Structure 1
Amino acid sequence: MRTVLVVLFDDVQSLDVSGPVEVFNGAELHRPGTYRIRTVSRDGRPVRTSSGLTLVPDHSFADAPPAHTLLIPGGAGTRRPDPRLVAWLRENGPRAARLVSVCTGALLLAEAGLLEGRRVTSHWSVCDKLAREHPSVEVDPDPIFIRDGDLATSAGVTSGIDLALALVEEDAGRETALSIARHLVVFLRRPGNQAQFSAQLAAQTAQREPLREVQQWITEHPGEDLSVESLAARARLSPRHFARAFQGETGMTPGRYVDRVRLEHARRLLEESADGIEEISRSCGYGTPEAMRRAFVRTLGAAPAEYRRRFRPAPAP
């Protein structure tokens, strides 16, 4: 049995706690003896979450059991770290078989010196801060979660559920993870290297109307000719001027934006439709299944057929 020890502190984000806990508890219900879930705070007293909920821990730092998986959630409290919490993590983090952070919980691990030389992610809003204040940490702001050996870090809020499902699948098998996903009405799990943002959210909205119209056109017509020349003509600009203006106003090259839109559209079709791979590749502008396969493997680490098998929501039992 693996002890999952969840660290609580004032102004913790309640969903960072409850999301993963529901997943681990689901695994225990499905396969008794898989996990023992415990919570701990500095002195064992109740803590107040950032949303006003009160959580009552099982243990204080002094009597906490050894953890197989030590989980550190995020929340406003991570921006004003309690020195005693940081010291406890510095001492106890290395003793855990697996160290996990959700959202801004990575800030606490960094303060404790537990992320040195590791590749991590966190909520997009603190990734710059994390990289600036801890230059020896390799911070990747894009994925929803990252596994680096015995360390697992995730982005904001719901990505903690995705990471917990991935850990359950590793510990207890795909069928257990699938059962939990069905119960929670979520995907079996999103791939960790899926971007935190869609293309439309990741890119800024262009200031000039012709460029905004082009952004919308790309989103609505991923299967069309989306070359720089074609898009520039639609914006009534020269290709060179268009490419420079698009990147300047959106923060993303036209090609990068098109790639992300096409990938997201293909993913949605694989998850939500029964269309064949060849049909999807054509409708998303890839032209051939092989071109779409290369894009999926490069970005998501899985071919389209494998992506569909693993990440399409399962039918209700």
Structure 2
Amino acid sequence: MDYVCVGRKDIVPMFSANSCPREIGVLIFEDFQLLDAAGPISVFEMPVRGMSPPPYRLTLYSMAGGAVRASSGVRMHSEILPDSLTLDTLVVSGGEGTREAMHDADFLNAIRDVSSRTRRTTSVCSGAMLLAAAGLLDGRRATTHWRRCPDMARHFPDVTVEADRIFVQDGKFWTSAGITAGIDLALALVEEDLGAEVTRRAAQELVVHHRRHGGQSQFSVMQDVKLLSGRFEPLIDWIRANLASDLKVEQIAEQVGMSPRNFARVFRSEIGSTPARFVEKLRLESARQHVETTGISLNEIARKTGFGDSERMRTAFVRAYGQPPMVLRRQGRN
């Protein structure tokens, strides 16, 4: 297999895989998220272990070099980011420190400079905010951690934010969702370079999915729920088990011995959502899992999850995800 060999100072033309490794640079900063860096590094390590000569050479960079503190307090040793650095792939970490780093003109200039000499520029989690702040994502599609997506859309209106994607590729720019999605991103990069079989073996060694099904929405339904007192936890379990039922507010309120009006008021205060909206979120979550991981017909999925028919389910999918069920089913199989 042929691929581009990129050294630290110059780009070498197409060459045989027997020649030299691709340079992978991971860029960190104070208060970066440890797994944003360690996850992709571990993925790229797997082919290095199993192939001779190794297909990748990994280097951790920072502006000043030396020990850099992660948000956890753990420090990682880094090399100073050199002038005129050329990489095959740049991976920009995310983390709490992005809130300060995105206003650091020198740091953003360095990202732009290095990116101008990469085959691929990528980010993990809120690292996409740094690419956007550097102007690299203007007019492009991108994603970031689901919690930061509204901020990204507000601060960078020239970027099309795809909030439900695990990762997004637009040209040479790849952005990924929250934290562990950096592993999914790195696996996709390895697959582009070395093929599906190498990537499958890497995923097996890491004990992760080769291709994760579903988008970020699968993680946000219950994470958005306050559950201030925990009083409705058994009720939520009951709703999940009875999605095919009518589940009008009267039926749900009866399960907890409350009047429909009082239940709706208390539920909204406790959960942060109306009962009807919350039920739809759970139905969408369950339906999407069936759509992406099974071959069950859409009509049957709609019946099992309480939408009644596939057209009503399709309308709900387009409203929530921007795509109909069949498109998500095809994506889940790719």
Pair in the same fold by TM > 0.5: yes
1:84 and 2:110 matched = no
> Unaligned stretches of 5+ in structure 1?
271-275, 311-317
1:136 and 2:154 matched = no
Cα distance, 1:238 vs structure 2: 7.8
Relative contact order: is structure 1 or structure 2 higher (C-alpha 8 Å, sep ≥ 6)? 1
> Cα–Cα, structure 1 residues 13 and 159, in superposed 2: closer, same or farther, change >3 Å?
same
User: Is the 2:132–2:156 contact (alpha carbons within 8 Å) kept by the matching residues of 1?
Assistant: yes
> Cα–Cα, structure 1 residues 200 and 60, in superposed 2: closer, same or farther, change >3 Å?
closer
Q: How many residues align?
A: 295
1:1-317 pair list within 5 angstroms: 1=5, 2-32=22-52, 33-62=54-83, 64=85, 66-81=86-101, 82-191=104-213, 193-195=215-217, 197-202=219-224, 215-222=236-243, 224-226=244-246, 230=248, 232-235=250-253, 249-250=272-273, 253=277, 256-263=280-287, 266=290, 277=296, 281=301, 298-299=324-325, 301=327, 303=329, 307=332
Q: Which amino acid aligns with 1:67?
A: L
SS for the counterpart of 2:59 is: strand
User: Is the 1:214–1:231 contact (alpha carbons within 8 Å) kept by the matching residues of 2?
Assistant: no
Runs of 4+ deviating beyond 6 Å: 206-209, 245-248, 286-297
What CA deviation, in whole Å up to 9, does each residue of 1:261-316 have, x standing for no partner? Answer: 3236537975xxxxx847x9576568899999997983584538x95x77xxxxxx
Q: Which moved more, 1:154-163 or 1:86-95?
A: 86-95
What CA distance in whole angstroms lies between the structure 2 residues aligned with 1:48 and 1:143? 29
What CA deviation, in whole Å up to 9, does each residue of 1:11-38 have, x standing for no partner? Answer: 2111110001100111232344432222
What CA deviation, in whole Å up to 9, does each residue of 1:157-196 have, x standing for no partner? Answer: 1111111112222221221111111111111121474526
> Unaligned stretches of 5+ in structure 2?
6-21
User: Is the 2:61–2:79 contact (alpha carbons within 8 Å) kept by the matching residues of 1?
Assistant: yes
User: Is the 1:204–1:250 contact (alpha carbons within 8 Å) kept by the matching residues of 2?
Assistant: no
> Cα–Cα, structure 1 residues 192 and 212, in superposed 2: closer, same or farther, change >3 Å?
closer
User: Is the 2:184–2:211 contact (alpha carbons within 8 Å) kept by the matching residues of 1?
Assistant: yes
What CA distance in whole angstroms lies between the structure 1 residues aligned with 2:194 and 2:314? 29
SS for the counterpart of 2:183 is: helix
> Cα–Cα, structure 1 residues 267 and 51, in superposed 2: closer, same or farther, change >3 Å?
farther
Identity of aligned residues (%): 35
Cα distance, 1:254 vs structure 2: 5.3
Q: Which moved more, 1:153-162 or 1:163-172?
A: 163-172
Cα distance, 1:39 vs structure 2: 2.0
What CA distance in whole angstroms lies between the structure 2 residues aligned with 1:283 and 1:44? 55
Q: Which amino acid aligns with 1:19?
A: G
C-alpha root-mean-square deviation of aligned residues, in Å? 3.9
Which residue is 1:313 aligned to?
none
User: What is the TM-score when the length of structure 1 is the normalising length?
Assistant: 0.75
What CA distance in whole angstroms lies between the structure 2 residues aligned with 1:283 and 1:168? 38
Name the structure with the higher strand share.
Answer: 2
User: What is the TM-score when the length of structure 2 is the normalising length?
Assistant: 0.72
User: Is the 1:198–1:264 contact (alpha carbons within 8 Å) kept by the matching residues of 2?
Assistant: no
Cα distance, 1:150 vs structure 2: 1.9
